[in-house]
Chain A
Amino acid sequence: MTLRTALTSILSFAVAASIAACDVDPDNLTGGRNRGSAGQGTDPAAQPGDPTQPGSCQEGKPHPGFGGNDFASERKPGAMGADRRRVKPFSALRTEMTRALGQMPGAMAASGAAFGEDPPRWFSEPTAGAVSIYTTYGLGFSGCYDTMNGASYAQAPTPQTAADECAKMQRKFWQRPPTDEEGKACVALAVDGLASEANARRRWAHVCASILASAGFTTY
């Protein structure tokens, strides 16, 4: 093997490896450089022999304590990237709402109790519930309505404007582009679901609020 052949082989391997890395699920902490940039594409969990699935690679060594019990023995195997997302606590949600809308909804500051906000120096894992989801939606609606004062929101959504606005808001609020399915759900709400809402601005505000109430925004 000549030096040129060897270098070519190494380079080819490196290119192939980087292309493969680009296919990794963006939610996974695998070191891929495109993390957080997509959220669409094929699900690696569906691929046979996928290294992200449990049992496909050598597991870690036991961690016995003084009593001889393995601290890690009760850990359940799970796929890489699965069950990583968590519900945003109120402290994160309030700043996220400001990021998404450019201003904090008026009632946001007084809404901490609806999310079970913990007192200082106390922690409990945040969870979602009917009341917190409704409250998020209500805050999102008022925040969206207040900021949607442009002329374009005075017109009822059409399939085209809904597709454009949904994609724009989903990209901004979720910090990733929507999948086709997510885009269609948003457009269906704007065009058909809210057809009985006569006030175009309120209709757009509902569309905006539904994106803010979705898991793409309320979890991270």
Chain B
Amino acid sequence: MSHLSRRNFLKSIGVGAGALAGTRLMGRGLFGVARAASPEPTSVVAIYLNGGINAIFTGADAFSGASFGVTANNVTAMGDVVVDNALANAIPQAIRTRVATVGIRHGISDHGNAQRSFFASGAQSAPLMLADAIGGTGAIKAAVVGGNSLPGGGRPAPVNGISLQPITDMRATIEAVAGATPAANAVDREGAAKGIAAAAAMSKGVVAKHQASLASVNQGFDSAIATLNKPVQPFNPQEFNTAYGLNGTAVNNFGARMAAAELMVRTGTNFILAQDQGWDSHGDSSGASVRNMFTQRIAPGLRTFLTRMVAAGSTERNVVVVLFGDFHRSLPGSDHQANGAALVIGKSFKNATTGKTDARVSLPASTPGIAGLWQLLGAAAKVDTNPFGANPHTSLLA
């Protein structure tokens, strides 16, 4: 029997307290890399409308009776936040007091530049910086669901060993975190962890020579080994299919992306990106096209996610949802406006806005740029040290 010293006894209490408190006190070694940061399991889920976001989803009252087809009857007010019903209907009543909009005066009106700029902070990847700052014990700390890159095809370099992991299949992901159904010829997690570590060792020479083109291989090995060394987390693919109305396990539509986002939130992932394509809505001056797309494609999965992860899970975790796109759509032709806004939802927020435009889709000159969004997200995630700097949108926090 080992001798229990006073130091070891106190250390045990410390570890136990850390486990009870979530992640704050957990140090390296017990569950891999666990950085002291957010005081509870925290995830930021970014929903990116690739092409742009119409301001009817972030401040519809600016256009009432004038443009984008906004009337008094097709919008919902949540305090100062007034949004189109296509979006409002996706937000459960219980969390409508936790919705805000953030102004982003970025001055960018081309897609490529906007997409690159939104996901960078200096020379680093903003999502990975945030995932790193949040800390936690998840094996996969940053993920893109239903794809393998950021908007515009960017594949960011890791930040402190945190890489962006692609999640393209629910069943395969669940097997990675929970193990395959036992069978004589089915792989076991313990053996797989050792085998994949050996595969990584066998790959060293090849990957060293092709560091850029095979960067994802090294990152994948690290994340796979970390995942397999975690305790088993049982999930049932059928449960997700039922909740999100899915037929298969491939993450190939927006509903499946929201289901995958829930899976990753529950496994402890800090940053999750779900993209939807086709939002470059030129000519949609009535807003009918984007309303219809939102209602058909986005709302069902978003509503289910918000109900299960934000409304129902608020005592267990801090889930921040941010909805944004390249830029606002301009008037009169729904073209490119050189600013934007993001809708944010989560228990850190209250009904307030810094993202309401005027009737010409302009934001006040004092509105912060892209950095302000990440500063706000860092603050909403309650990180100890905000890697982006002080939050300029303090009025939005509860």
A interface residue numbers (CB < 8 A to B): 27, 81-87, 111-116, 119, 124, 126-135, 137-138, 141-142, 145-146, 170, 178-179, 181-182, 185-186, 188-189, 193-194, 196-197, 202, 205-207, 209-211, 213-216, 218-219
Pick the contact of A137 from B196, B204, B209, B212 — CB < 8 Å?
A: B196
A82 to B200, CA, bound (A): 19
> CB-defined interface of B178-207 with A at 8 Å, one 1/0 digit per residue?
001000111110111011111111111111
| B191/A197 in contact, CB under 8 A | yes
A residues less than 8 Å from B211 (CB atoms): 82-83
Asked whether A213 and B195 contact (CB < 8 A) given A114-B169, A134-B228, the answer is yes
| B195/A137 in contact, CB under 8 A | yes
Pick the contact of A116 from B168, B195, B197, B209 — CB < 8 Å?
A: B168
Pick the contact of B198 from A129, A179, A188, A218 — CB < 8 Å?
A: A188
| B176/A113 in contact, CB under 8 A | no
List the B residue with the shortest CB-CB distance to A201.
B184
| B191/A206 in contact, CB under 8 A | yes
Q: Beyond the given A87-B214, A127-B149, could you list 5 further A-B residue pairs with CB under 8 A, ordered by the A residue number?
A: A85-B206, A138-B187, A142-B186, A194-B194, A219-B210
Q: Does B300 contact A (CB under 8 A)?
A: no
Q: Name 7 A/B residue pairs within 8 A (Cβ), A-sorted.
A: A111-B172, A112-B250, A131-B169, A138-B187, A179-B205, A181-B204, A209-B192
**Total number of B residues with any Cβ neighbor in A under 8 Å:** 61
Q: Min CB distance, B98 to chain A, in Å?
A: 32
A213 to B288, CA, bound (A): 49
Q: Min CB distance, A76 to chain B, in Å?
A: 9
Interface of A, helix, strand, loop or mixed by DSSP: helix
| A137/B187 in contact, CB under 8 A | yes
A216 to B251, CA, bound (A): 28
B residues less than 8 Å from A135 (CB atoms): 169, 172, 175-176
| A215/B203 in contact, CB under 8 A | yes
A218 to B128, CA, bound (A): 26
Q: Min CB distance, A81 to chain B, in Å?
A: 7
A137 to B180, CA, bound (A): 12
| A127/B216 in contact, CB under 8 A | yes
Asked whether A84 and B210 contact (CB < 8 A) given A133-B224, A202-B191, the answer is yes
| A113/B227 in contact, CB under 8 A | no
| A210/B172 in contact, CB under 8 A | no
Pick the contact of A130 from B147, B165, B201 — CB < 8 Å?
A: B165
Q: Min CB distance, A25 to chain B, in Å?
A: 8
A182 to B202, CA, bound (A): 5
Q: Does B167 contact A (CB under 8 A)?
A: yes
Asked whether A137 and B210 contact (CB < 8 A) given A113-B250, A129-B165, the answer is no
A218 to B167, CA, bound (A): 18
B residues less than 8 Å from A115 (CB atoms): 168
Pick the contact of A214 from B203, B209, B210, B219 — CB < 8 Å?
A: B203
| B176/A130 in contact, CB under 8 A | yes
B residues less than 8 Å from A219 (CB atoms): 206, 210, 214, 217
Q: Does B395 contact A (CB under 8 A)?
A: no
Q: By CB atoms of chain B within 10 A, which of A124, A179, A182 has the most?
A: A182
| B194/A81 in contact, CB under 8 A | no
List the A residue with the shortest CB-CB distance to B207.
A215
- Segment 201-249 of B: residues with Cβ below 8 Å from A: 201-207, 209-214, 216-217, 219-221, 223-224, 226-228, 248-249
| B206/A130 in contact, CB under 8 A | no
> CB-defined interface of B145-170 with A at 8 Å, one 1/0 digit per residue?
00111000101000000000111110
A170 to B198, CA, bound (A): 13
A residues less than 8 Å from B248 (CB atoms): 113
| B195/A129 in contact, CB under 8 A | no
Q: Min CB distance, A157 to chain B, in Å?
A: 13
Q: Min CB distance, B397 to chain A, in Å?
A: 34
Pick the contact of B201 from A84, A141, A185 — CB < 8 Å?
A: A185
| B191/A129 in contact, CB under 8 A | no
- Segment 28-75 of B: residues with Cβ below 8 Å from A: none
A96 to B243, CA, bound (A): 37
A114 to B223, CA, bound (A): 15
| A113/B148 in contact, CB under 8 A | no
| A85/B169 in contact, CB under 8 A | no
| B202/A86 in contact, CB under 8 A | no
| B214/A130 in contact, CB under 8 A | no
A210 to B184, CA, bound (A): 18
A170 to B176, CA, bound (A): 25
Asked whether A141 and B169 contact (CB < 8 A) given A82-B209, A128-B216, A130-B223, the answer is no
A141 to B202, CA, bound (A): 17
A120 to B150, CA, bound (A): 22
